[in-house]
Amino acid sequence: MAREERIINIEHLSKSFGDKKVLDDINLYVRRGEFLTLLGPSGCGKTTLLRMIAGFLQPDEGSILLDGKDIAGVPPHERPLNTVFQRYALFPHLDVYDNIAFGLKLKKTPEEEIDKRVRKVLKLVAMSDYEDRDVETLSGGQQQRIAIARAIVNQPKVLLLDEPLAALDLKMRKDMQIELKEMHKKLGITFIYVTHDQEEALTLSDTIVVINEGKIQQIGTPTDIYNEPVNAFVADFIGESNILKGRMIKDRQVAFIKHIFDCVDEGFGEDVPVDVVVRPEDIYFTTDPAKCQFKATVNSCIFKGVHYEMWVDTDTGYELMIQDYDPYPVGSEVMLYIDPDDIQVMKKERRSNVLSGVVKDQETIRIFDEDFPIPNDFEAGTEVVVDVPFEGVELLDDLEEGVLNGEVHFILYMGNHYHLTIKTDDGDYLYVDTNDIWDKGDLVGIKLLPKTIKLSKKDEND
Amino acid sequence: MPYFIFLVIFVVLPLLLILIYALQDGSGHFTLSNITKFFSDGDSLSTFALSIEVAIENTALCILIGYPAAWILANKDLNRSAVTVVLFILPMWINALMRTLATAELFTMAGIQLGKGTLLFGMCYDYLPFMIYPIYNVLNKMDKSYAEAAQDLGATPGEVFRKVTLPLSMPGIMSGVMMVFMPTVSTFAISEFLTNNKIKLFGTIIQENINNSMWNYGAALAFIMLIIIGISTLFQGDEETTAERGIV
């Protein structure tokens, strides 16, 4: 792709607030004229990234290039970008017309030209008769339109939108989505859109950038991201999904839920642990025993408007979510199959917790600045690599009993157990497999089970 | 209901009494002579004009000093602690009369001639917190995104202040003005102590009349002042509701 196609180029961008790293080595480009969405849960850093592009925040490291020029030192009022703010930030002391004309007046645009352009954008956002209205008398949706008009009247090179639809009700939001998309087409301006709503991102975007914990997880078109999520986080965040532990047997063959399935993925190697994603609409019911790949019992069935959402227990003890237009009665035995195309195999991000520790004595190893009772044969002071399997971490209700405390940060249901991400009090992460039900944000005491742990001396060259 | 009783006893009744006294001569006959006396008496009129002039000057001074002070206090980059705000308001906790006496002593000690300069200093010192606080409140509560939106639309920091921050802080300024201007018109203690009674303000002549048992003329003057203050609040008209928001 030609370099001129890229209107914004972000290279190695990092930002910390105090000790907390909000953005970590972001690399990203935006094509001229595209609708790009920064998508992630709240606190993932997406708004920080947008504010750095707008110029309200300065990056700690890395650069933002606009049309090939670094805009690091350029103050916001000199950047040819405009922002639609989350809560609109319309000036309450000005009427609709003056709000929209604000930017043009600052640039000393001739009166007639201002008049022409304000009327034009008012027409574009379907608010033509509102120019004399006080902005505080407008409804949320109308304020939204004026905020958009105020930004695009300046004909920015890039329009930045910070969760602009978050304050609207569902019906209004859907209507505005369609209008935004049409506006984008009509104007030909590059849009950078921030949202935590995956459905909105899928509806609007040409390109979606999924961000979590300050890092880019995946960049792709909506269909790419939906059909081929690169990791469990993306799969879980975008749409509904069944995320399961699997094992790649060989190219084009994968085992999960204790059955073997044909798939289309290659190049993982043989007999390699993987994560598997199957969308609930991609599991099909059949009455043909020849087609049936596995059997299950329906344990719940809920009508969701267009489709039914069912949970089934497989004959091998896994729970799967299925969406289908036809309901199956609770308790009935069903035959199911999955198309090879619809199985998404993902590389496992990690197979265990690999921690570094220092041997204190024969009974104790210091990890995360805490003393864990782990019997070992190493000399005191030896640096060791502590390999703790996901099942080797015990979570306790009683914080006092834990060697270390933490908080449940992220929960993934894997069909027959939960895979939790625990954030320790010091900000380190531990990954845990458990059958117990925890909620996000629960405080837990953490213990390591010595029997499951593998110790090895730390390689000097590491 | 208790509110209504309170209102009658402490507001309506005293006002009625002022009105009755103002419309009587010394022997209790109803007359308009007290009112006409004021408008034909050159001394009273010029004192009144001077009072208004001093009040305007004092109010302007308070805005000039109070606005930047409030702005600094409300700016999170310059001031992170609420304690500094309290320190600015602290003088209000001490009796105004005592502060004024102390200020007068300081001037005498420093050998500074008491006059209009010292009067304005004393008034400004006394009333500044009443200007700072409402402005600080408005600025402190102002959504930062307004300033950001203005910047985003191409406003330089100076333009952001002139076109957005200042107009949006007008309610605070208005309630500051109400709390400074009106009391200064009627003050008498400050002018007595800080000018050695060389400069007489409207409040001074009311006080003198009442002190000398000329209740009827005193009441008439007080009544005229009330009317004028009343009219000046009307000028603010619909600003009033927003101004109240600034006070709280």
**Terminal Cα distance for chain B, rounded:** 24
Whether B96 is covered by a domain: the verdict is yes
Whether B237 is covered by a domain: the verdict is no
CA B112 to chain centre: 26
Whether B75 is covered by a domain: the verdict is yes
DSSP string covering A276-301: EEE-GGGEEEES-TTT--EEEEEEEE
Q: Which pLDDT tens digits describe chain A residue by residue (462 residues)?
A: 555 689 999 999 999 998 888 999 999 999 999 999 999 998 899 999 999 999 999 999 999 999 989 998 899 999 999 999 988 899 999 999 999 999 999 999 999 999 999 999 999 888 988 989 999 999 888 999 999 999 999 999 999 999 999 888 888 889 899 999 999 999 999 999 999 999 999 999 999 999 998 999 999 999 999 998 998 899 999 988 999 999 999 999 999 999 999 999 988 989 999 999 999 999 999 999 999 999 999 999 999 999 999 999 999 999 999 999 999 999 999 999 999 999 999 988 888 999 989 998 888 999 988 899 999 888 888 899 999 999 999 999 988 888 889 999 989 999 889 999 999 888 888 999 999 999 998 999 999 998 889 988 887 654
Q: How confident is the model at residue B168 (pLDDT cuts 50, 70, 90)?
A: very high
Check if the beta carbon of residue B27 is closer than 8 Å to that of residue B21: no
Please check whether residue A77 touches B, CB under 8 A.
yes
Whether B160 is covered by a domain: the verdict is yes
Q: How many domains does chain B have?
A: 1
Contacts with A93 from chain B: Cβ below 8 Å:
167-168, 170
> Strand pairing partners for A160?
A83, A192
Q: Region B69-98: what's the mean pLDDT?
A: 82
Give the number of residues written for chain A. Answer: 462
Contacts with A99 from chain B: Cβ below 8 Å:
none
Instruction: Please judge whether A85 and B163 are an interchain contact, meaning their C-beta atoms are less than 8 angstroms apart.
Output: no
DSSP string covering A299-313: EEEEE-SSSEEEEEE
Contacts with A75 from chain B: Cβ below 8 Å:
151
Q: Please give the radius of gyration of chain B, using alpha carbons only, rounded to the nearest integer.
A: 21
- For residue B89, give how far its alpha carbon lies from the nearest alpha carbon of chain A (Å): 29
Q: How confident is the model at residue B248 (pLDDT cuts 50, 70, 90)?
A: very low
Whether B16 is covered by a domain: the verdict is no
A66, two tokens: 């606009």
Instruction: Please judge whether A87 and B143 are an interchain contact, meaning their C-beta atoms are less than 8 angstroms apart.
Output: yes
Residue A224: what pLDDT?
92
CA distance A384 to A389: 16
* Of residues A87, A91, A106, nearest to B154 (C-beta): A106
DSSP string covering chain B: -HHHHHHIIIIIHHHHHHHHHHTB-TTS-B-SHHHHHHHH-HHHHHHHHHHHHHHHHHHHHHHHHHHHHHHHHH-TTT---HHHHHHHHGGGGS-HHHHHHHHHHHHHHHTPPPSHHHHHHHHHHHHHHHHHHHHHHHHHHS-HHHHHHHHHTT--HHHHIIIIIHHHTHHHHHHHHHHHHHHHHH--HHHHHHTTTSS--HHHHHHHHHHTT-HHHHHHHHHHHHHHHHHHHHHHTTHHHHHHHHH-
Question: Mean pLDDT highest for which of A381-395, B18-32, B74-88, B212-226?
Answer: A381-395
For B99, how many CA atoms within 13 A lie in the half-sphere containing its CB?
A: 16
The CA–CA distances, whole Å, from B23 to B9, B208, B224 equal: 21, 19, 12
CA distance B57 to B51: 10
Chain A nearest-CA residue for B143: A89
Residue B198: what pLDDT?
82
Q: pTM of the predicted model, to two decimals?
A: 0.81
Chain A nearest-CA residue for B154: A77
The CA–CA distances, whole Å, from A455 to A235, A429, A451 equal: 33, 19, 11
CA distance A124 to A114: 15
Q: Which residue has the higher pLDDT, B21 or B229?
A: B21
CA distance A406 to A417: 20
Give the CA dihedral A142, A148, A150, A152, nearest 10 degrees.
Answer: -150
A423: burial class by Cβ within 10 Å (0-12, 13-18, 19+)? middle
Whether B13 is covered by a domain: the verdict is no
Contacts with A166 from chain B: Cβ below 8 Å:
none
Residue B241: what pLDDT?
44
- For residue B78, give how far its alpha carbon lies from the nearest alpha carbon of chain A (Å): 18
Domain carrying residue B113:
45-222
Check if the beta carbon of residue A330 is closer than 8 Å to that of residue A312: no
Angle between helices A111-124 and A96-106 (to 10 degrees): 130
A249: burial class by Cβ within 10 Å (0-12, 13-18, 19+)? middle
Q: Region B2-25: what's the mean pLDDT?
A: 88
Instruction: Please judge whether B146 and A91 are an interchain contact, meaning their C-beta atoms are less than 8 angstroms apart.
Output: yes
CATH number at residue B205: 1.10.3720.10
Whether B8 is covered by a domain: the verdict is no
- For residue A154, give how far its alpha carbon lies from the nearest alpha carbon of chain B (Å): 8
Instruction: Please judge whether A76 and B164 are an interchain contact, meaning their C-beta atoms are less than 8 angstroms apart.
Output: no
Instruction: Please judge whether B152 and A77 are an interchain contact, meaning their C-beta atoms are less than 8 angstroms apart.
Output: yes
Residue A2: what pLDDT?
54
Instruction: Please judge whether B150 and A54 are an interchain contact, meaning their C-beta atoms are less than 8 angstroms apart.
Output: no
Contacts with B142 from chain A: Cβ below 8 Å:
none
Pairing of strands A404-413, A443-448: antiparallel
Whether B228 is covered by a domain: the verdict is no
Task: Collect all residues from B whose CB is shorter than 8 A from any CB in A.
Answer: 143, 145-146, 148-156, 159, 163-164, 167-168, 170
Residue B188: what pLDDT?
82
Residue B230: what pLDDT?
80
Contacts with B159 from chain A: Cβ below 8 Å:
77, 106
Instruction: Please judge whether B143 and A83 are an interchain contact, meaning their C-beta atoms are less than 8 angstroms apart.
Output: no
Contacts with A90 from chain B: Cβ below 8 Å:
149
Q: Region B94-108: what's the mean pLDDT?
A: 87
Contacts with A106 from chain B: Cβ below 8 Å:
153-155, 159, 163
Triad B230, B234, B240: Cα angle to 5°: 110
Q: List pLDDT tens digits, range B155-165.
A: 999 999 999 99
Chain B nearest-CA residue for A53: B152
Asked if the model's pLDDT at residue B239 lies above 60, the reply is: no
Instruction: Please judge whether A154 and B153 are an interchain contact, meaning their C-beta atoms are less than 8 angstroms apart.
Output: yes
Check if the beta carbon of residue A335 is closer than 8 Å to that of residue A292: yes
CA distance A424 to A27: 28
Q: Is A308 left (phi over 0), alpha (psi -120 to 50) or beta?
A: beta
Please check whether residue A103 touches B, CB under 8 A.
yes
Please check whether residue A108 touches B, CB under 8 A.
no
